[in-house]
Chain A
């Protein structure tokens, strides 16, 4: 049972380009979470998705950032027209299906994608 897979591990983009970060959850997990870790800062929640649905995007910047989790394939975090301030490590986590509204599931993290904007 492979863990959470993120690719690429490292991504370099010039200012103004688009960045696409991919996340494949653990087998059997249908919930995906994206977090961002800016240099010398803690991890901050960005967005929570289930298959074909965005459940909570309260941590997403209002512009240039979008996320999807299609029925087939990995979750994608897309950053349009990247700027230097987008340079960070982006982590994806997955968890099993929620059977009740209140749950105690454990989150499993991928190795992250380190985005550098030059």
Chain B
């Protein structure tokens, strides 16, 4: 059974810092890994999707890496801003198509 863990559970940083969020998964036979952002009381916004054949994916100030063999992914956020404050979730497909197993999330607070 796939299990996804995210560390840390919560993180508070001053504006401008670069930061790394971690995601680990127990079954390395994954097709892809997806990072999401969730604002309080809101839905999920897809940030990055890394295919199993890729090692990195970039979008603006976000960079996600994937190491399937070690069961890890990291989300790197450069020059953090208060608007980045949210919960960040990673998820991997389990079995069929886009049936996702989610991590418990990292709650990020970027302070002025």
Contacts and interface: CB of A to CB of B under 8 A. Distances in A.
Given A43-B89, A109-B46, A104 B52 contact: yes
Contacts of A105: 97-98
B28 interface: no
Interface string A2-42: 00001000000000000000000000000101010000011
A43 B4 CA distance: 11
Contact of A114 (B41, B94, B99): B41
Given A42-B102, A43-B89, A106-B34, A48 B97 contact: yes
Contact of B44 (A98, A103, A109): A109
Interface string B44-77: 1110010110000000000000000000000000
Contacts of A48: 96-97, 99
B96 A55 contact: yes
Interface residues of B, number: 27
A43 to B, nearest CB: 4
B105 to A, nearest CB: 6
A92 B75 CA distance: 24
Contacts of B52: 104
A102 B99 contact: no
Main secondary structure of the interface of A (DSSP, over half): strand
A116 interface: no
A43 B102 contact: yes
A64 to B, nearest CB: 22
B96 A107 contact: no
A111 interface: yes
Contacts of A35: 100, 102
Contact of A95 (B31, B89, B98, B104): B98
Contacts of A42: 89, 102-105
Name which of A98, A103, A107, A111 has the most chain B CB atoms within 10 A of its CB: A107
Interface of B: 31-32, 34, 36, 41-46, 49, 51-52, 89, 91, 94-105
